[in-house]
Amino acid sequence: AQSVTQPDIHITVSEGASLELRCNYSYGATPYLFWYVQSPGQGLQLLLKYFSGDTLVQGIKGFEAEFKRSQSSFNLRKPSVHWSDAAEYFCAVSFGGYNKLIFGAGTRLAVHP
Amino acid sequence: NAGVTQTPKFRILKIGQSMTLQCTQDMNHNYMYWYRQDPGMGLKLIYYSVGAGITDKGEVPNGYNVSRSTTEDFPLRLELAAPSQTSVYFCASTQGLQGETQYFGPGTRLLVL
């Protein structure tokens, strides 16, 4: 069965430090991969997505993610974190013919000044 | 352009009561989805629809019903509320092509006591 794993439940970084959030998926083929961000009390906003082509994709708010087929991973990175990046981040996989999403459990990011 | 709207924002139900969570999108999207979000669990798909009059079950459909009479609206019905249905409910929509971004509403927080 398809699944998405985000190994880190909570991550705390200092403002200005670099960030990497991990995501691994289990799927029979190359899936469509997404990163969403959820600010407190808000809905989900798309940061970036990948389904083909260049394995390094750029998103909004200075985020990027790299698809590694050999590791079944799609890790999210940001070179310098801002306090406003504190939120919960979800990795998701789209499968099947109806664009359904399977989400990871999420990683909650805290940013220290 | 309001995107995806959900009402109510918050509701408290007693066990056994029923209610309908409303979802409307103004983007003329064909596909619509209902997810529930429980702490530490990510989002789980409840039901989805690929067009007016067409709905299907997702991963966790028990205790819920849906209908889709128009392109814009996709209400979620809880017939006999149970404490296990305490959650945050998100509606989403997309045009339908594989890999397209899903746009999420702000969510409805439901507490069943």
pLDDT in the model for residue B16: 97
pLDDT tens, residue by residue, A31-90: 899 999 999 888 899 999 998 888 899 999 999 999 998 999 999 999 999 999 999 999
How many Cα neighbours within 13 Å face the side chain of A42? Answer: 13
d(CA B1, CA A93): 27
Distances (CA, A) of A110 to A5, A9, A84, B59, B69: 20, 11, 10, 30, 42
Per CB-CB distance under 8 Å, the chain A contacts of B4 are 43
**DSSP label at B73?**
B
- Residue A113's Cα: distance from chain center in Å? 23
Tell me if B79 sits within 8 A of B18, measured CB to CB: yes
- Residue of B102, B103, B109 to mutate, interface with A, max A Cβ within 10 Å: B102
Please determine, for residue B1, whether its predicted confidence score (pLDDT) is greater than 70.
no
d(CA A20, CA A10): 12
Cβ within 8 Å, pair B98-A4: no
Q: Find the CB nearest B42 among A41, A100, A106.
A: A106
